[in-house]
Copies of this chain bind each other. A is one copy, B any other.
Amino acid sequence: MENLELPRSVEIIEVGPRDGLQNESNFVPTKVKAAFIEALWQAGFKEMEITSFVSPKWVPQMGDAAEVIRLSGNHPGTIVLTPNKRGIDTALASGARAVAVFIGVSSSFNQKNINKTTDEALNGLIPHIRELKNKGVFVRACISTAFHCPYEGEIAPADTIALCKVLADAGVNELSVADTIGKATPQESFSLFSLLKRELPGVLIAAHFHDTRKMALANIYASLQAGVTRFDSSAGGLGGCPFAPGASGNAATEDVVYMLHRMGIETGVDLNLLNHAISVVEPHLSRELTSWYYQSYKKEQHS
């Protein structure tokens, strides 16, 4: 019995400095963020979400977005998350060449987050995407609750695909499709990503998994079988302890990369340099990071 073929190389989109730090409880000093981001570039990532122009009132962890871009935004793989027109304008004025926008598939989720239904959010987003495309900006659309919603439960794959198609038609370069609450199974992952790859051949598709229920690596393996070659992950598993209530539990980049390398799949990421990058930011967090690969690195350093 032959296995499904796996890709020879994949891109890891590092989201620790943005999606990770945004969901840690304390503010990491801007200079530490800059050093962390620089160390991550040194580790070999080609694309990274470095910050977000969300409201500092709601997300004080990202209150230094403009300064982070000034210090760290020069790399061509820099991506900046923006929640609205003002965020987009600020990001562009700061020199961002790639912008991420976000929307959930679930209307309940969008209502809770941005007080809009999915249709309302989409109608608001499309003109911004068109404007960004006209300006030659790379647009990444982050799709939340693509599998399950904390309020609505299971999401129909057809709904996720329909939303992705509208965004692709509007011109987004990439869809980052997320299992926001870490509930997808490998079977669901294989199924949805197989459909997305087939239905949307003209757009980049990234898979974004959370390890909340320990299935992140299984889902990545299943997505590789579905032809996915782009994965979001967060250095150190930054972004919430998997056991805290409502935690995000981002898949830890080093654990993902370890598995990929062990299967002969290239990522361009140097695991030692990645561990070093994590050690730059960890002392400034309110908790210890628990990825197995970083833990073993720390033990080596102290022995």
Contact = CB atoms under 8 A, between A and B. Distances in A.
Interface of A: 1, 3-4, 6, 183, 185-187, 190-191, 194, 198, 211-218, 220-222, 225-227, 242-243, 245, 252, 255, 258-259, 262-264, 290-293, 295, 299
Nearest to A3: B190
B243 A191 contact: no
Contacts of A242: 292
B225 A3 contact: yes
A295 B215 CA distance: 16
Contact of A191 (B3, B187, B245): B3
Given A3-B187, A263-B187, A292 B214 contact: yes
Query: Number of copies of this chain in the oligomer?
Result: 2
Given A4-B4, A243-B290, 14 more contacts: A1-B4, A1-B226, A3-B191, A186-B221, A187-B263, A213-B259, A213-B293, A214-B252, A214-B291, A217-B217, A217-B218, A218-B221, A221-B221, A242-B292
A6 B187 contact: yes
Given A217-B218, A225-B3, A226-B1, A243 B186 contact: no
Contacts of A255: 213-214
Given A1-B227, A225-B3, A215 B245 contact: no
A184 to B, nearest CB: 9
Contacts of A227: 1
A204 B158 CA distance: 40
A242 B290 CA distance: 10
A243 B6 contact: no
Contacts of A264: 187
Contacts of A292: 212-214, 242-243
